[in-house]
Amino acid sequence: MRPAHLNRLSVQQCADRYLDLVRAKTVTGALSPATAEVYARDVTTFADLAGPGLVLDDLTGEDVDAVLLAFARKPDGRRTHPESGTQSASSQSRFRRSVSAFFKHATLAGWVQLNPMTAATVTARERGGLRPERRALTREQAQGLVGAARDLTAAEPDAGRRDQRTQVRDALIVLLLSTLGPRVSELVRANVEDFYTNDGVRYWRIFGKGGRTRDVPLPRDVTDVLDTYLTTARPAAADKALLLSWRGRRLARGDVQAVIDRVQRHVDPAQRRTVTPHGLRHTTATHLLADAVDMDAVRRVLGHSDLSTLGRYRDELPGELEVAMRAHPLLRRPATGGER
């Protein structure tokens, strides 16, 4: 039911009250801290773009369209590369979902008479939501990045300042992201104690969304780099975090992109392409599925609760249809000789 009375509150007042609710849900466990952070950032941005002093109920569908378009044209502050100057399609879709959730609550709370999202006409495609680049790296690009990470573990440690001696840690970050595809929040939350050995196989117990956990076995190469990092390269610190800065503090989410960019500088320019941590999650899913790894196994590696979610992470690779047709199962020659 909708409230009987309308509260004509400003956009900023409504945003503040909504974010108080979001924070309360985080305390009770109804929302993860990462999701709450996204809502807070998007709703704060919406208030700034819409006009904090305006009455929320006075906003129309056209006003919401204008905000969505303004957000689409905003530079992506997480990246410094010219080709990534505006918001990606996924960021635009996420922002729209956050705004929609905000107005859904505003309708129930009596802050607006009618939800203006129902009259908004701007879609992701009309907002220029086509991705400028494929999110998943091609096999050659991914192998170039993984190869650069491996080379870092074999290189002599930097003889310069302590804040320059991070090669093994950087290599571990790139290898974990490229081969297991964890969410960046899962990666920076990881603790040393989350890694254990069972029957000679090293596992990572990943604490994911919604309080769910999954135990994922590490490839041998990744295990070797992990052991090297823990025994020789991890700073001595009381913090139980796996990934530490040279000062001995847990890495933040924003630090991970800088690590990837630093490793990318060692990749051959012919194989190099800008990629985000989430792009490496797409890369993991895409190449595991392209190699015919069981879909349910891939789902469990990525921590999805539903197989249908994998469709959003499976990106198209150049030439894959041609390869599939060349290896068509119905055109394989039958076995000859005495085979039965």
The residue-averaged pLDDT of 260-289 equals: 90
Residues in the chain: 340
Active-site pick, 96, 135, 287, 304: 304
> Residue 324 pLDDT more than 90?
no
> Residue 224 pLDDT more than 50?
yes
Active-site pick, 18, 39, 229, 313: 313
The residue-averaged pLDDT of 159-188 equals: 84
Contact 239, 248 (CB under 8 A): yes
The verdict on residue 134 lying in a domain is no
- Among candidate residues 86, 119, 152, the one where a domain is terminated: 119
> Residue 128 pLDDT more than 60?
no
Q: Token match 């929040």: residue?
A: 185
> Residue 43 pLDDT more than 90?
yes
281 belongs to the catalytic site: yes
Residues 189 and 248 in one domain: yes
Residues 108 and 23 in one domain: yes
User: What is the Cα–Cα distance from 156 to 167, expressed in whole angstroms?
Assistant: 9
> Residue 66 pLDDT more than 90?
no
The verdict on residue 16 lying in a domain is yes
> Residue 335 pLDDT more than 50?
yes
The residue-averaged pLDDT of 289-296 equals: 81
The total of structural domains in the chain comes to 2
Instruction: Note down the domain range covering 46.
Output: 11-119
Range among 29-33, 192-196, 310-314 with highest mean pLDDT value: 192-196
User: What is the Cα–Cα distance from 60 to 38, expressed in whole angstroms?
Assistant: 24
Contact 171, 224 (CB under 8 A): no
18 belongs to the catalytic site: no
The verdict on residue 339 lying in a domain is no
The verdict on residue 15 lying in a domain is yes
Residues 90 and 217 in one domain: no
Tell me the pairing of strands 201-207 and 195-198.
Answer: antiparallel
The pLDDT mean for the chain works out to 82
Active-site pick, 25, 205, 278, 314: 278
- Amino acid symbol at 22: V
Predicted local confidence at residue 123, as pLDDT: 59
The residue-averaged pLDDT of 179-189 equals: 92
Residues 113 and 143 in one domain: no
Residues 167 and 25 in one domain: no
Token output for 20: 């108080």
Query: Band of the pLDDT at 85, cuts 50, 70, 90?
Result: low
> Residue 169 pLDDT more than 70?
yes
Query: Band of the pLDDT at 318, cuts 50, 70, 90?
Result: low
- The residue that leads in pLDDT, 85 or 232, is 232
- The residue that leads in pLDDT, 156 or 183, is 183
Predicted local confidence at residue 45, as pLDDT: 94
> Residue 245 pLDDT more than 50?
yes
Residues 202 and 270 in one domain: yes
Predicted local confidence at residue 247, as pLDDT: 83
SS3 204: strand
Active-site pick, 25, 205, 209, 250: 209
125 belongs to the catalytic site: no
> Residue 2 pLDDT more than 50?
no
The verdict on residue 2 lying in a domain is no
Residues 162 and 299 in one domain: yes
Residues 242 and 149 in one domain: yes
Query: Band of the pLDDT at 7, cuts 50, 70, 90?
Result: confident
Residues 90 and 174 in one domain: no
Contact 131, 47 (CB under 8 A): no
CATH at residue 239: 1.10.443.10
Query: Within its chain, how far is the Cα of 92 from the centroid?
Result: 14
Predicted local confidence at residue 153, as pLDDT: 86
Predicted local confidence at residue 225, as pLDDT: 94
Phi, psi of 203 (to 5 degrees): -120, 155
The verdict on residue 75 lying in a domain is yes
Active-site pick, 127, 139, 183, 287: 183
Residues 73 and 184 in one domain: no
The closest of 294, 90, 135, 305 to 208, measured between CA atoms, is 305
The verdict on residue 132 lying in a domain is no
> Residue 189 pLDDT more than 90?
yes
The residue-averaged pLDDT of 85-90 equals: 72
Residues whose CB is less than 8 angstroms from the CB of residue 280 and which lie 6 or more positions away in sequence, other chains included: 137, 174, 177, 178, 181, 260
328 belongs to the catalytic site: no
> Residue 175 pLDDT more than 80?
yes
Predicted local confidence at residue 125, as pLDDT: 47
Active-site pick, 189, 281, 287, 299: 281
- Lowest average pLDDT, out of 69-78, 90-99, 202-211, goes to 69-78
134 belongs to the catalytic site: no
Residues whose CB is less than 8 angstroms from the CB of residue 3 and which lie 6 or more positions away in sequence, other chains included: 108, 109, 110
| Helix axes 11-28 and 33-50, enclosed angle (nearest 10) | 180
The verdict on residue 216 lying in a domain is yes
The residue-averaged pLDDT of 29-38 equals: 86
The closest of 132, 136, 140, 147 to 264, measured between CA atoms, is 147
> Residue 307 pLDDT more than 90?
no
Residues 155 and 261 in one domain: yes
Query: Band of the pLDDT at 15, cuts 50, 70, 90?
Result: very high
203 belongs to the catalytic site: no
CATH at residue 103: 1.10.150.130
Residues 173 and 262 in one domain: yes
